[in-house]
Chain A
Amino acid sequence: MAASISGYTFSSVCYHSANSNSDHEGFLLGEVRHEETVSISDTQISSSELLQVVEVHNHEPCAQLFSFYDYAGQVNEESLNRILKDRRKNVIGWYRFRRNTQQQMSFREQIIHKQLTQLLGVPDLVFLLFSFISTANNSTHALEYVLFRPNRRYNQRVTLSIPNLGNTSQQEYKVSSVPNTSLNYAKVIKEHGAEFFDKDGVMKDIRTIFQVYGALQDKVQSVCGEVEQSERVKEKVQEEVNKLKQQIVLRKRKTTNEERRLQEAQNPEPRLTPEENTEPPETSLLSRVAFHTPSTPERPGPSANPPAYADLLSLQNDSLLPFSSSPTSAALLPRPQAVGSPGHPSPSPLGLGLSAGPNPAPSPGTPYLGNGDGSSSDSLDRQAAGQEDDDEEEDDDDGSSEYENLVSEVGQLPPVSASVLLQGRPAALSPDGDASVRGSQT
């Protein structure tokens, strides 16, 4: 089997993944065709081989995780149809983007894959896994990708090629003609060769192909213009939605505060424990809104999505933090399991993470800022090869993820970094690896 994906589709998946604060997934659309190759050998006159070629034409990104399956990995066909609509018949696979994980399908992914195979009626559905890793000092990042055929034995891997322009050098042009003194040769090629040229001496084919190119480029420009307009419209509506969400949160907080004041006025008892105190206004909303993870996880249906991490971040923008912070320390954010780091962090319970107030605990210093000794490079290679890493807490069964480690590390950040975290999106909790705990299920 061979597989290919266009560079633009590949880049688009990378783009969506970079914009995602958590794992990202979606569907691969394209077609599968069969190519017959005939070969002749000494033993056989001819032997034909049928090669299955998977061509990925584009992708359908899912807006968030658990959009078509629940925590148990049960796929909801209705949600699937809502996402795919009439593109369902073009699905040839699906993909997942994860950060700092091994190149292996998780248990949940295998379960989902089996169900998708059945529901979509694609016996050889493929799965494309992207894994993102970085050096400890964040100067170099790698996106590794593997295409699996999970329905085949041993979860077969297939090389994914990216067709491209190849060699664009103009070495094929000839700057001189082959010397020939034959008068007949010169006469014949001049007489019959003239058919190829117009009255200006330009080859007719060149004018024709240039017209084709011109028309294509005009169309590209035109569609580009439409895309640009649609991007602005989307931006505007997204902004309106974000504002509404903020207003709702503020309204809820105001209501909660009023209720609490009313309750305190009615029951004027001494304050009990620090945890039950009203939090200072400077405290981020995040400490109260996020991470109410119960001991036994709920199992919402695919339509009951957890609050998006972006929403939580947007709340922070309205937090009552008195100080303004600079993004300087975005460069110094630790990255667990990074290449070149001395070791892996120990996981800590959820909820420690992003509740840093104005004066967070001083950091012992992150261990991940580039000692650069390459001590994890071997583990990186083994990870990239999809081999087991004995040092890791790999547990696909319960959906745990290394992102939990990030939460524990965030809580230990120095004050400047904590303020960066609380300020907002750019570089602070973003993207290339600071994933949401909630969104990091596997």
Chain B
Amino acid sequence: MAVSAVHLESDAFLVCMNHALSTEKEEVMGLCIGEVDTNRIVHIHSVIILRRSDKRKDRVEISPEQLSSAATEAERLADMTGRPMRVVGWYHSHPHITVWPSHVGKNQSTPLPHQFHNFSFHCHGKLFQLVCLRHSFSTTDVRTQAMYQMMDQGFVGLIFSCFIEDKNTKTGRVLYTCFQSVQAQKGSEYERIEIPIHVVPHEAIGKVCLESAVELPRILCQEEQDTYRKIHSLTHLDPITKIHNGSVFTKNLCSQMSAVSGPLLQWLEDRLEQNRQSVIELQLEKERLTQELATM
């Protein structure tokens, strides 16, 4: 049975946005950690950024190891909060592709790209391979979601659509949507169910979300290292080619540092300063309120 709603904590939302805006050339993805209450509302408390084992543009792979790590992370969060936490959903990004539901926004000014994509993902030791047409809300996403729902009916999918611009009005747009899949009445195709999603305020950023946020540069570096190691192990390359490959690695790492690590550090420092100022102001307010209470 479909969930009734999704409540996404704002600090988890922040991490999803950071991740989605990290690259406009490829889709990124992660898993959502949280709990489902008796009213079938999914509460997402944090997210885990996933590493892509296959860097090809049209592939989204989650290995059993990653799912296992996510489950471990969920257990850790459960220990911290004292509440049952588990993997409750997944999210991924759609750069340059909007995700308005099909009955809305029919007069979209931005034409939707049409490409065939070969999607595969491992889950519980099985390889799921799907080939479909990618459009604004691809059937790939819906089928992928359906596969996850086979394991857990409460599993939800989130999509963050970004890097969209209306050139005429110079209006940029970031969208996020939530959905589940249901088998269509006719045939074996799946249909999408739209699930209400609300971002719930969380004034302070949780520890788990902060840790997830700073994982991104580490994950990017690991991906780069793994690729370079495979290349470096090739013995038939001449020195010029090896120098070239080494330079590519250096260049890519520099891009990561300037585009991700640097801005991340800048944001953290700003956040630290904002918090310090907030604490000072709150302390002053606390003193004022204490005095007011004492006079009453």
Q: A7-B21, A251-B296, A331-B5 are in contact. Are A158 and B170 (CB under 8 A)?
A: yes
Closest to B213 in A: A224
The answer to whether A173 touches B227 (Cβ under 8 A) is yes
Q: A15-B13, A377-B107 are in contact. Are A142 and B243 (CB under 8 A)?
A: no
From A174, A202, A377, contact of B244 by CB (8 A): A174
From B171, B232, B263, B296, contact of A144 by CB (8 A): B171
Closest to A219 in B: B265
Q: What distance in Å separates the Cβ of B151 from its nearest Cβ neighbour in chain A?
A: 22
**Is residue B25 contacting chain A, with contact meaning CB distance below 8 A?**
yes
Q: Which residues of B contact A139 (CB under 8 A)?
A: 101, 177-179, 194-197
Q: Which residues of A contact B240 (CB under 8 A)?
A: 177, 189, 193
The answer to whether B175 touches A237 (Cβ under 8 A) is no
Q: A58-B266, A145-B172, A432-B198 are in contact. Are A173 and B231 (CB under 8 A)?
A: yes
Q: Which residues of B contact A431 (CB under 8 A)?
A: 10, 198-201
Closest to A208 in B: B250
From A14, A186, A327, contact of B13 by CB (8 A): A14
**Is residue A65 contacting chain B, with contact meaning CB distance below 8 A?**
no
Q: Which of A142-187 contact B (CB under 8 A)?
A: 142-147, 157-160, 162-170, 172-178, 180, 186
Q: A18-B201, A170-B227, A203-B246 are in contact. Are A11 and B105 (CB under 8 A)?
A: no
Q: A209-B254, A216-B261, A251-B296 are in contact. Are A235 and B204 (CB under 8 A)?
A: yes
Contact flags A212-247 to B (C-beta < 8 A → 1, else 0) = 110011011101101110111111011011001101
Q: What distance in Å separates the Cβ of A82 from its nearest Cβ neighbour in chain B?
A: 10
The answer to whether B270 touches A58 (Cβ under 8 A) is yes
The answer to whether A160 touches B172 (Cβ under 8 A) is yes
Q: A189-B238, A244-B289, A374-B105 are in contact. Are A224 and B211 (CB under 8 A)?
A: yes
**Is residue B176 contacting chain A, with contact meaning CB distance below 8 A?**
yes
> Complex Cα distance A4/B8, Å?
28
**Is residue A34 contacting chain B, with contact meaning CB distance below 8 A?**
no
The answer to whether B201 touches A425 (Cβ under 8 A) is yes
Closest to A212 in B: B257
Closest to A231 in B: B204
The answer to whether B170 touches A326 (Cβ under 8 A) is no
The answer to whether A166 touches B237 (Cβ under 8 A) is no
Q: A12-B271, A177-B238, A235-B204 are in contact. Are A162 and B21 (CB under 8 A)?
A: yes
> Complex Cα distance A9/B274, Å?
13
> Complex Cα distance A385/B241, Å?
51
Q: Which residues of A contact B37 (CB under 8 A)?
A: 327
Q: A241-B282, A255-B296, A374-B106 are in contact. Are A213 and B253 (CB under 8 A)?
A: yes
Q: What distance in Å separates the Cβ of B176 from its nearest Cβ neighbour in chain A?
A: 6
Closest to A331 in B: B5
Q: Which residues of A contact B279 (CB under 8 A)?
A: 230, 233-234, 237
From B24, B175, B241, contact of A142 by CB (8 A): B175
**Is residue B152 contacting chain A, with contact meaning CB distance below 8 A?**
no
How many residues of B sit at the interface, in one of the four size bands?
35 or more
Q: Which residues of A contact B198 (CB under 8 A)?
A: 138, 330-331, 427, 430-432
How many residues of A sit at the interface, in one of the four size bands?
35 or more
Q: Which of B225-256 contact A (CB under 8 A)?
A: 227-228, 231-232, 234, 236-256
> Complex Cα distance A230/B205, Å?
10
> Complex Cα distance A135/B221, Å?
38
Closest to B168 in A: A385
From B202, B250, B259, B270, contact of A206 by CB (8 A): B250
Q: Which residues of B contact A240 (CB under 8 A)?
A: 286
**Is residue A344 contacting chain B, with contact meaning CB distance below 8 A?**
no
Q: Which residues of A contact B256 (CB under 8 A)?
A: 165, 213
Q: A176-B237, A217-B218, A377-B106 are in contact. Are A165 and B174 (CB under 8 A)?
A: no
Q: Which of B154-186 contact A (CB under 8 A)?
A: 162-163, 165-166, 168-179
> Complex Cα distance A152/B140, Å?
46
Q: A140-B99, A143-B175, A224-B214 are in contact. Are A14 and B194 (CB under 8 A)?
A: no
Q: What distance in Å separates the Cβ of A359 from its nearest Cβ neighbour in chain B?
A: 22
**Is residue A389 contacting chain B, with contact meaning CB distance below 8 A?**
no
Q: A140-B101, A224-B214, A237-B282 are in contact. Are A103 and B171 (CB under 8 A)?
A: yes
**Is residue B290 contacting chain A, with contact meaning CB distance below 8 A?**
yes
Q: Which residues of A contact B261 (CB under 8 A)?
A: 213, 216-217, 220
The answer to whether A223 touches B275 (Cβ under 8 A) is no
**Is residue B132 contacting chain A, with contact meaning CB distance below 8 A?**
no
**Is residue A31 contacting chain B, with contact meaning CB distance below 8 A?**
no
Contact flags B24-51 to A (C-beta < 8 A → 1, else 0) = 1110000000000111010000000000
Q: Which residues of A contact B283 (CB under 8 A)?
A: 237
**Is residue A339 contacting chain B, with contact meaning CB distance below 8 A?**
yes
**Is residue B7 contacting chain A, with contact meaning CB distance below 8 A?**
yes
Q: Which of B264-282 contact A (CB under 8 A)?
A: 264-272, 274-276, 278-279, 281-282
From A15, A137, A166, A331, contact of B24 by CB (8 A): A166
**Is residue A386 contacting chain B, with contact meaning CB distance below 8 A?**
yes
Q: What distance in Å separates the Cβ of A144 from its nearest Cβ neighbour in chain B?
A: 5
Q: Among the interface residues A11, A20, A141, A247, which one has the most CB atoms of the partner chain B within 10 A? A: A11
The answer to whether A159 touches B170 (Cβ under 8 A) is yes
The answer to whether B201 touches A330 (Cβ under 8 A) is no
The answer to whether A157 touches B169 (Cβ under 8 A) is yes
The answer to whether A386 touches B22 (Cβ under 8 A) is no
Q: Among the interface residues A252, A373, A385, which one has the most CB atoms of the partner chain B within 10 A? A: A385
Q: Which of A415-442 contact B (CB under 8 A)?
A: 425-427, 430-432
Q: A248-B293, A430-B198 are in contact. Are A142 and B173 (CB under 8 A)?
A: yes
> Complex Cα distance A296/B184, Å?
58
The answer to whether A378 touches B55 (Cβ under 8 A) is no
**Is residue B97 contacting chain A, with contact meaning CB distance below 8 A?**
no
From B18, B173, B232, contact of A7 by CB (8 A): B18
Given contacts A138-B197, A168-B25, A174-B241, 8 further A-B contacts (CB under 8 A): A57-B266, A144-B171, A160-B170, A167-B23, A217-B218, A234-B282, A327-B41, A431-B198
What are 9 inter-chain pairs, A to B, with CB distance below 8 A?
Answer: A7-B21, A139-B195, A141-B199, A142-B100, A166-B25, A177-B241, A231-B275, A372-B103, A426-B200
Chain A contacts to B: CB under 8 angstroms: 6-12, 14-15, 18-21, 57-61, 63, 103, 135, 137-147, 157-160, 162-170, 172-178, 180, 186, 189-190, 193-194, 196-197, 202-203, 205-206, 209-210, 212-213, 216-217, 219-221, 223-224, 226-228, 230-235, 237-238, 240-241, 244-245, 247-248, 251-252, 255, 326-328, 330-332, 339-340, 370, 372-374, 377-378, 380-381, 384-386, 425-427, 430-432
Q: Nearest 3 pairs between A and B by C-beta?
A: A331-B5, A7-B21, A193-B239
